[in-house]
Amino acid sequence: MDEAPSPPYPPSVNTEIINKTSSLAGSVFSAVQKIIALIFFLSVVFFIASLLMNKYPLENEILADVVNNEPEQLPTSRQPFKVNFDEFTYDLTPKYDYDIYGVVVTYFNYDSLLNIVHKYDPGNVKDLCVVWGKNIKNSAYRHAQYGSSEFFCWAKWDPTAVALDLTKLSNNHVIPATEKIRSIIDQARAGDQIHMQGYLVNYSVSKNGEGIFSRNTSTTRLDTGNGACEVLYVTSIEILKKNSSIAAEVNIYSKSAMYLSFIIGTFILFVLRSIFNK
């Protein structure tokens, strides 16, 4: 009777190879986790440091047009019109022609992964909160802190500092007229000096003929609170001068690194670990 062929290696050797491979994979996995954790920690440190630094340009770096030009709001001859964004139809009613110069102090991207509302309003791609005029001349803009969330921007300052004139600040919900304009809007960051033109509009959104919601624009810079934001259909935008502040660059890249390392770290912790543990 023929004997069964023996395995190429004794079972004990096979087990040892498997154990060594598993040990090596575990070591690599642990090292990657530590590197991601270090990147996340350092990005948080740099992000916090950037918040403590002043990321806005100095007064003498602000262009004369931004300092001296008030927003210009004029009667419009543009009739109501429709535009489509993805599968949604926008009915826009222009209220005024609008022209504004300003320094971006904060912004909010509506295409954030965490923003559920944007799914139903893809035309409103970004909020740009800007200051101009008196707030530049008296340096108040550099002594305030700013923030943005869905629908709002806000500012706060130390009572001992020069007060910000909120009539020289506006939060603009911007709707781009073209993809090229959208690309420029996407590039606008805090501290950039910009010039936008277009129409202040009321708009309603529908899908397959069914209305979803509507929004009206503010038509005065004197209001505050809910409904005080301008809704601007942008037909022209120019970034007149990019912010060259180191703090602004640190803020952008550290925030990106923080988010990315958190996502990768979470994936490694919960997905890959479960695969390795099987």
Rg (CA), the chain: 27
* pLDDT surpasses 60 at 60: yes
Q: Tell me what percent of the residues of the chain surpass a pLDDT of 90.
A: 51
Beta strand 230-241 with 169-176: parallel, antiparallel or unpaired?
Answer: parallel
pLDDT band at residue 40 under the 50/70/90 scheme: confident
CA distances, 149 to each of 118, 153, 188 (Å): 13, 6, 16
pLDDT at 158: 87
pLDDT band at residue 71 under the 50/70/90 scheme: very high
pLDDT at 266: 78
Distance CA 112, CA 150 (A): 11
Distance CA 106, CA 76 (A): 29
Arithmetic mean of pLDDT, 134-162: 90
* pLDDT surpasses 70 at 29: no
190-216 residue pLDDT tens: 999 999 999 999 999 999 989 998 999
Tokens found for residue 10: 């004794």
CA angle 176, 179, 180 (to 5 degrees): 95
154-188 residue pLDDT tens: 999 988 888 999 999 999 999 999 999 999 999 99
pLDDT at 146: 92
The model carries a pTM of 0.75
pLDDT at 45: 80
238-273 residue pLDDT tens: 999 999 766 666 776 777 787 788 788 777 766 656
Arithmetic mean of pLDDT, 73-82: 98
